[in-house]
Structure 1
Amino acid sequence: MKNQSHAMLYGLGAVFLWSTVATAFKLALADLSPLQMLVIACAASLAVLAVVLTLQGRWHLVGAVSKRQWLQSLGMGLINPGVYYVLLFEAYDRLPAQEAQPLNYTWALVLAYLSVPFLGQKLRVADIVAGLICYSGVVVIATRGEVLSLRFSDPVGVGLALASTVVWASYWIVATRDRRDPVVGLFLNFLFGLPAVALVCGLTDGFGFALGSSVASAVYVGVFEMGLAFVLWSLAMKKAEQTARVSNLIFISPFLSLVFIYFILGERIMPSTYIGLVLIMSGLWVQQLKTRSRMAGAAS
């Protein structure tokens, strides 16, 4: 049953959780390698998704998955949580949280661009303008304000962050053809992705880490960023009478995230971060204008 008030509450809950994870990433990476962190987070996420399936009484949907969907789960699991989070955590390992976090938000723009060749959608003027605005913000953040020099603070870290947006956007393009229940699909993706990530971790970094605050932060990421936030956002979309109003909540997240980064991590927020983040969010807003006008036209 549709309920806009409930949808907004679920959406705000998801946005709040997403606002905390940049800080949690850095706390976890203080003592863990990106792969070690990913194994712990994946295991925690798998456990919490299993609890959600139990509470929702959806285990029968897992058994009803076809052979083709089992193979689909394997492929999508290698992308998410596999490749995507490896790139993202490596980026956070190299960059300050205040830089890595805004760069990751450009995935929505990448999704629009990739939808042209893979989904047959048209590239509109709004997408081009949004891209120019967004990526000017990326340059401001990546150069820490020294735009004319084009000297990136950490070219590899910036490249990893931007590469993660391509992988994440590609994942959602593949997901448009996914007919599985969203929570069931995510559970199966993690069920197949975890062994692959654990194998790579065992062959490279190993599992020689001590229990402590970093492990607790990795568990937090798995439970809340990879698990419950997704469930809350799915509920918000299902309950929403006006999805645009719920979707707009996402613009709160990066600015709220800077508050946690400043007070918990103690990072001094640079002026270039504010300027770049405003540019990125402005570009995404311009891009959404096209979507809003199309939805309004369809409703009239």
Structure 2
Amino acid sequence: MPARSLEPTMTKMFTDHLQRFLFDDTDVRGEIVSLEQTWRHVQDRHHYPDVIAMRLGELLSAAALLTATLKLDGIMTIEVRGAGPVTLLMAESSPGNGDLEQQLRGIARWDEDAELSQDMSLAELLGNGQIVITLDPRNGKRYQGIVALEQDTLAGCLEHYFMQSEQLPTRLWLAADGERSAGLLLQQLPQSDTQDADAWPRLSMLADTVTSEELLTLEAEPLLFRLFNEEQTRVFTPVPVAFGCTCSRERFAQALGRIDPDELRSIVEEQGQIDTHCHFCNTHYAFTAADVESLIESPEAPSPTVH
């Protein structure tokens, strides 16, 4: 991917994109993500209270940033599981390959009878909980890492995960409001003798000056220039990010095919058909009595098509 030196420009980029960058003669790389349409698509499918939407927006940007650091042909999922008013925040990403853009989706589950306020902390929302990161490649073994919710912010919890699992040192800055979700990531690569040994603490300190307002309102290059104008920063061509769901009638049919046939017939007898829907995109899939019998008799056959 071609790269060029950073210049003080105010060029307007497309809204949903991920900008990779690195610092010459250092062992530090970074990414900035900006989500607008993607974040709107997630919110349009579910009406979340503002305080939950803000956390889910932060998680969505974190998923985009972390996915871009991986060589993964599959799906990455970040689940924040809690025992408070919010029981689940979940973001899922399918990495872009070739001309395909990275695709993101997210959901939250909460007690709709709970009293929520805008100033509730992460601990007040989720109680005792944990973050579960799952890498599910198309080919190969599934990997799962877990870290407790012991920090004040989602960014802090994810940073602690990288430190605890002895992976590359990683810093995150996340922000979200009703219109946009955004994030900044710095990551320290294995160091060589020719590189700037003080770069990691220096660049982390500079990045610590970023504000949520800057993350949400500045384009990537002006933001990088504001933070790192005295560094030799090299930027790559931005890559698009979009909302996208992996659900299909066939996948739901496969899931139904794993249920005991007597249980499936009992549901049909009681309800007339089996109704399913995707939690990410709210798409509805209905399976009639004839569809269910077809699934039971020929589980390997293509899913019956609705005409």
Q: Which category describes the TM-score, using the shorter chain as reference length?
A: under 0.3
Report the structure, 1 or 2, having the larger strand content.
Answer: 2
The normalised TM-score by structure 1 is 0.25
Tell me which structure has the larger Cα radius of gyration. 2
If the length of structure 2 is used for normalisation, what is the TM-score? 0.25
